Amino acid sequence: MAGASSSSGSSRKYDVFLNFRGEDTRRRFVCHLYEALKHKALDTFIDSEELRKGDDLSELLEVIQHSRLSIVVFSENYASSTWCLKELVQILECMDRQRQIVVPIFYEVDPSDCRKLKGSFAEAFAKYERDSQANIEEVESWKAGLTRAIGLSGWVSKNYE
């Protein structure tokens, strides 16, 4: 389920890329955000469940590269998704290389829990670090990306009705 391509001649295919943990937010928040962005005529990429069934993340990473803005929706189980964390690292690389705009939203989660790796964030990273198959360098890049993204200006859902 993705928005149509934007104007021809631009290397950008989408105005917005949505990065989120589907199980936490897809039906309660992200679908409403997606509809609001579409209503504003913004070509927005939202992944479908079918896209995540394989292990190939390359299509999503390419979409990120061709987006003007990325919205990162941090939620309770965000860090338990290696896909979300890999996308986040790519988003931050695009922010550095291509000046992509990145907007974090903290959906029903305290930003300090993310920043200090508390609660479910701590549990997820402890699991990665215990995994003998894990690439520790990659796990460290996820931590650094998470810390960096949390420091960006964004919105905390608990502050709004």
Among 50, 87, 108, 161, the active-site one is: 87
Q: Residue 117: which domain range? A: 14-159
**Do the domain assignments include residue 121?**
yes
pLDDT given for residue 161 in this prediction: 62
Per-residue pLDDT of the chain (161 residues; tens, 9 = 90+): 344 433 333 577 899 999 999 878 888 899 999 999 999 999 999 886 545 555 568 888 899 999 999 999 999 999 999 999 999 999 999 999 999 999 999 999 999 888 889 999 999 999 999 998 889 999 999 999 999 999 998 999 877 76
Q: Where are the extended beta strands (E) located within 51-108?
A: 67-74, 101-106
Task: Give me the amino acid identity at 122.
Answer: A
pLDDT given for residue 64 in this prediction: 94
**Do the domain assignments include residue 1?**
no
pLDDT given for residue 145 in this prediction: 95
**Do the domain assignments include residue 4?**
no
pLDDT given for residue 152 in this prediction: 93
**Do the domain assignments include residue 5?**
no
**Do the domain assignments include residue 116?**
yes
**Do the domain assignments include residue 7?**
no
Number of domains forming the structure of the chain = 1
Q: Residue 106, class by beta-carbon neighbours within 10 Å (0-12 exposed, 13-18 middle, 19+ buried)? A: buried
Q: Give 87's Cβ-side CA count (13 Å radius).
A: 28
Nearest C-alpha neighbor of 21 from the set 115, 87, 100: 87
CATH number, residue 102: 3.40.50.10140
Q: Is 87 a catalytic residue?
A: yes
**Do the domain assignments include residue 94?**
yes
pLDDT given for residue 5 in this prediction: 38
**Do the domain assignments include residue 105?**
yes
**CA 93, CA 91: separation in Å to the nearest integer?**
5
59 φ/ψ angles, rounded to the nearest 5 degrees? -60, -45
